[in-house]
Each structure stands twice: as C-alpha cells, then as structure tokens.
A and B are shown apart, each in its own frame.
Chain A
Amino acid sequence: MNKKMSSRLVIKCYHINKVEFGDKNDIIDGKLLINEKVESELVKLNDLIEEISISIIKPREHKKYVNSIMDIIPISTKALGCIGNGITHTLTGVYVMLTGKTGDGRQMAEFGSSNGILEEKMILGRAGTPSIDDHIIHFDVVVKGGVPLGRNLAMAAHKVCDIFIQQIRDVLRQLDGRKADEIHEYVDRIVYNKTKVVIIKQIAGQGAMYDNQLLSNEPSGIEGGRSIIDIGNVPIILSPNEYRDGAIRAMT
C-alpha cells in the first residue's frame, strides 16, 4: 500500500452574477439579495460600534473612496461536517470587503493604511482579492472613537461583520447540492515513500489588530474559533483540507 486516504472535503461553488438589496437575505438563480434593514439591526449589537454602512460595489466600478481595508472574506458555510471535512457551500462572483475607521477619524491600521480610492488601493484578481468581474459587498464599520485602537475594537468590527455574513451563510447552506455550478473534491492523503514536506505559515499575533482566528464554526468565520494570541502563538498543525476550508480568518 503506498497511499492512505484520510479526510474528504467537497467544496460546492454557487456563482452569483447579481447582488441587490431586498426585504430579506436570499439566493435565487444566481442573484444574491441582502436584507436592507440589516445595518440598523447590527449597529445595536455592540456598544463599540458607532456606525455600519453596507453597500454593493458592482464589477468595474471601483472608483469609490474606502476606509482602510481590514479583510476580504469569502462567503462559505458548512453544509455537512466541520472545517476540513464534509461539504462546504461557497459563493463565487461575490466577496465581502471589511473596511473601518474610528469615530474620531483614525484608520483601522497601524503599519500603513489602505484607505483611498479602491481601484488605487487594491490589485484585483489576485488569490486574496476579488477579480474585476466580481461583486463586492462593502461592509464599512465606524468603531468607537476616543479610545486606544485596541484588540477589542478590531474584534468588534470583525464580529459584527461575521454576524452579517452568517445570515447569508444560513441561506447558502440550504441550497440544493445538485445545483452547484462547480464541485471540487479534496482528499487529505498520506503518500508513503515520497518526500515529506511541511508548510509553515507565520501569521500575525502581536496584539491589537494583529490577530488571526483559527478553526471557527464556519469557513473564514469568527464564531467558535480560537485566536492565535489566546493560544499563545504556539504552532498548531492543520491538515491541508482544514487550511483550504477556511481555517484562518485574517484580522491583520
């Protein structure tokens, strides 16, 4: 025997070609509807959040001013199993962009800020950024001003954004698996007598916004995960499937 198969992960992609506001969150025939009342509900959830504004950036319309870009987040959910195995549903053609500043006008950044006109501040079509043909859900947060830019502020912004994404995930989870636009299968395997290699990813854990959330309940999520700061920055091992299933939510 020269191979042993382990965890199996199936990622089902649903392509979105239109994003609009509506009276509830929904996904119908490639169209994503976002609940237009959600901003006012979310802003009440945390005292550290002063304002939330959600807008839809259409493909090729990137001349908009944005606050410092805190993250680009795929919208994925577990339909079966947990991170690294089972079935994941993910949307393609649309990604969430989280931006933020404080109530007294400071950007959510400490080592250079990416605030400015979006087309000048983000290179499209890279592994970590949307392509020119993708829609972007722009989730802008104003966190409490007049206090130091601490970990609690960055976490509050990420958490409230995660609650927003979760509402879309709950709809995405229900989609018929047979109607996916693309299906990718990945199997973690041990291959005997081959060259054994480890990938080490060094990620930020210095504190404040230099944090990463690991192995949350949902792919690229916050809820249920562990912060790399809280686990003392010590190395942990992820299987290839866990890693490619969104085990890391980058909060840097």
Chain B
Amino acid sequence: MGIGPSTKETSLHHFRDPLLDVISNDNDIDLLGVMVVGTPQDNNDKCFVGKRAAYWAEAMRADGVIISVDGWGNSHVDFANTIEEIGKKDIPVVGLSFIGTQASFVVTNKYMDTIVDFNKSEKGIETEIVGENNVNKLDAKKALALLKLRIKKAKNRY
C-alpha cells in the first residue's frame, strides 16, 4: 500500500493546506485549479490516470505544475508515472514527496530531477506519528520558487 500515519494528510490538512495557501497568495501566479488524482491498484490504470492528468494540464495551458503525493512506496509508482507524462509534454513540473532515508523512489525517470523532500523526522523514516511528515509552508515556498525557475528556463528556450 502506500500511506503511513506520518505522511497521511488528514481532512484538516486539506482544509487548511499550506500548499494552496502559498500558491494562491503569490502575485506572480494565476492558479488554474487543484487537480485531484487517485492511485489505482492496477498498473494499466495507473498509466491511464497519469496520462489523463498530463492531458488536463496541457489542455489548461499550464505553464507549470506542482504535484504532491501523500504517501510513498506503491504511491511513488503513480507519482513517477504522472510526472513523466507531464514532462513528456514539455510542461515544467516540480514534485513534493516524503523521501527521507526510507522512501527512495522505487521507480524514477529523467523528469524527476526537481523534487522537494518534506521529510521532517530526524531519522528520515515513516515514524507512524500523525502530522510529522507533511508539507508545510516552507516546503510549499521552496517548490514554488523551484517551479518559477524551471518555467523561466523553459521560456528562454523558445
């Protein structure tokens, strides 16, 4: 499976999500929306939903995407796949994930070069403590700053 207690985002976390807070309050950004994508069990389904997410981002004419994942292990397969599909469309993408020392990516690809690790535990592990390894404001700011850089680079290429 894929979500341990320390990476789990509670309903309260979604209600006052620091990621939304930071991005929606940035004056340089036109926030197009929050896309919610699930994590199916089956591998074909994982590819299906990842592709749909990438086509959505392209259809919305997004200049960039920030993708966060609230789990690891199996959930990283979906995460890697969706990032790859977005990357293939030449849309700059920055990821946010718990990695630490325990959750190195099980699969990876060339588009996964800008990932913010939001591990907060000293040992870098799934501590089974609720609220510990969650995205905070600083993580969100880092991710947005990195995305702005990537978008700038991409624009200079054209």
A interface residues with partner B (beta carbon < 8 Å): 68-69, 71-74, 76, 95, 109-114, 120-124, 126-130, 190-192, 194-207, 210, 212, 214, 219-220, 228-229, 231-240, 242-244, 246-250, 252
Q: How far is the CB of B32 from chain A (nearest CB, A)?
A: 5
**CB–CB A236/B129 < 8 A:** no
**CB–CB B65/A200 < 8 A:** yes
Q: How far is the CB of A119 from chain B (nearest CB, A)?
A: 10
B14 contact set on A, CB distance < 8 A: 128, 201, 220, 243, 246-248, 250
**CB–CB B78/A202 < 8 A:** yes
**CB–CB A210/B2 < 8 A:** yes
In Å, the complex CA distance between A79 and B73 comes to 41
B70 contact set on A, CB distance < 8 A: 201-204, 250, 252
**CB–CB A198/B62 < 8 A:** yes
**CB–CB B15/A244 < 8 A:** yes
Q: How far is the CB of A112 from chain B (nearest CB, A)?
A: 4
**CB–CB B24/A240 < 8 A:** yes
B4 contact set on A, CB distance < 8 A: 111-112
Closest partner residue, chain A, to B50 (CB atom): A235
A229 contact set on B, CB distance < 8 A: 38
- Sorted nearest first, the 7 A-B pairs with minimum C-beta distance are A128-B13, A233-B38, A205-B38, A114-B5, A129-B131, A126-B131, A128-B10
Closest partner residue, chain B, to A219 (CB atom): B15
Interface string of B44-70 (1 = CB under 8 A from A): 010011001100110011111111111
A203 is contacted by which of B6, B37, B48 (Cβ under 8 Å)?
B37
Closest partner residue, chain B, to A230 (CB atom): B38
A-B pairs with beta carbons under 8 A, tally:
277
B11 is contacted by which of A123, A130, A235, A248 (Cβ under 8 Å)?
A248
**CB–CB A205/B5 < 8 A:** no
User: Taking A238-B34, A246-B15 as contacts, is the C-beta distance between A198 and B28 under 8 angstroms?
Assistant: no
A109 contact set on B, CB distance < 8 A: 5
In Å, the complex CA distance between A182 and B144 comes to 29
B151 contact set on A, CB distance < 8 A: 195
A244 contact set on B, CB distance < 8 A: 15-17, 20, 24
User: Taking A202-B78, A240-B33 as contacts, is the C-beta distance between A74 and B23 under 8 angstroms?
Assistant: no
A126 contact set on B, CB distance < 8 A: 13, 131-132, 134, 136
A242 contact set on B, CB distance < 8 A: 34
User: Taking A122-B131, A197-B64, A204-B71 as contacts, is the C-beta distance between A228 and B38 under 8 angstroms?
Assistant: yes
**CB–CB A195/B23 < 8 A:** no
Q: 7 pairs across A/B with beta carbons < 8 Å?
A: A110-B1, A195-B28, A199-B67, A200-B68, A203-B70, A233-B39, A243-B34
**CB–CB B40/A206 < 8 A:** yes
**CB–CB A72/B11 < 8 A:** yes
B20 contact set on A, CB distance < 8 A: 199, 240, 243-244
Question: Which of B19, B33, B48, B56 counts the most chain A CB atoms within 10 A?
Answer: B33
> CB of B87 within 8 A of chain A?
no
Closest partner residue, chain A, to B56 (CB atom): A235
**CB–CB B33/A239 < 8 A:** yes
> CB of B18 within 8 A of chain A?
yes
A201 contact set on B, CB distance < 8 A: 14, 19, 34-37, 67-68, 70
Extra 10 A-B pairs, beta carbons < 8 Å, given A122-B131, A194-B27, A205-B40: A112-B6, A127-B16, A196-B60, A203-B9, A203-B36, A203-B37, A204-B70, A233-B40, A234-B49, A244-B20
B49 contact set on A, CB distance < 8 A: 232-235
Q: How far is the CB of B56 from chain A (nearest CB, A)?
A: 6
